[in-house]
Amino acid sequence: MSGNIPLLDAALARTRTEDRAALVGYLPAGFPDVEGGIDAICAMVEGGCDVVEVGLPHSDPVLDGPVIQTADDIALRGGLRIRDVVRTVGEVYGRTGAPVLCMTYWNPVDRYGVERFAEDLAAVGGAGCILPDLPVEESGVWRAAAEKHGLATVFVVAPSSRDERLAKITAAGSGFVYAASLMGVTGTRVSVGAQAADLVARTRATTGLPVCVGLGVSNAAQAAEVAAFADGVIVGSAFVLRVLDAGADRAAGLAAVRALAGELAAGVRRA
């Protein structure tokens, strides 16, 4: 099976024809364990997520806030391996039919083998990769492997990115552009900030790719605020918190994740 970038493109095109932003949900693989993570990500789709991101937990997640760091630590202490991450992508795609991307730091991919990782991800129906710490100048080997296997390469842009830099990044990417709405690490925020709208406008001036905004959205009102100017709203920490708050009660965690997805989906449609 080749990768599913056409499915990702179709999902984002569909939301555009519906005159709304896409809802993109994130959860690390292996959290609270492999099976529980698969169930939770599927619940996100059932609740209303159009696209999902499966995180590859890292021992030094420098760009992630304390909530996702906690989830990553739980997954790694549970013995998570890259094969479990790939399996999670495949199981979620198989059960939901939604586009599933892997979000990962570059080091695990490099150690696993670039060609091997792309091939394995594509074989289970993965749609692509988000690589927040891979400089575009050093991405040629990955992009060649991704293109060969039909995977999108999503790069991250930030408010600090100058216009010339934005153009260079967006020219190399595919699928969509991940706009980090605030400087700093991930996590829920009281406000998503005015920087996000400016970043989206500057990014759109350089590319025809959809621009999805992440880092900070945690409720329907914020989702509606971002959906008014972005092509997609990315939510991660808020979903992780629902699972953490449920503790050992798996049914309650799944219900909370499904409910949050429903609230956020209503928010993006209200924009």
* 3-class SS of residue 252: helix
* The pair of three-digit structure tokens given for residue 232, joined into one six-digit string: 């997609």
- Single out the residue of 149, 166, 205, 140 nearest to residue 180, CA to CA: 166
Q: What is the 8-class DSSP label of residue 139?
A: -
Of 53, 84, 120, 225, the catalytic one is 53
Q: Could you confirm whether 64 is annotated as catalytic?
A: yes
Beta bridge partners of 55: 28, 103
Strands annotated E in 187-229: 211-214
State the SS3 of 70-81.
HHHHHHHHCCCC
Measure the CA–CA gap between 140 and 73, rounded to whole angstroms: 31
Beta bridge partners of 214: 180
- CB-CB neighbours of 62 under 10 Å: 10
Distance of CA 253 to the CA centre of its chain: 20
Of 9, 39, 50, 64, the catalytic one is 64
Q: Could you confirm whether 53 is annotated as catalytic?
A: yes
207 in Cβ contact with 170 (< 8 Å): yes
* 3-class SS of residue 236: coil
Would you please indicate which residues are annotated as catalytic (active-site) residues?
Answer: 53, 64
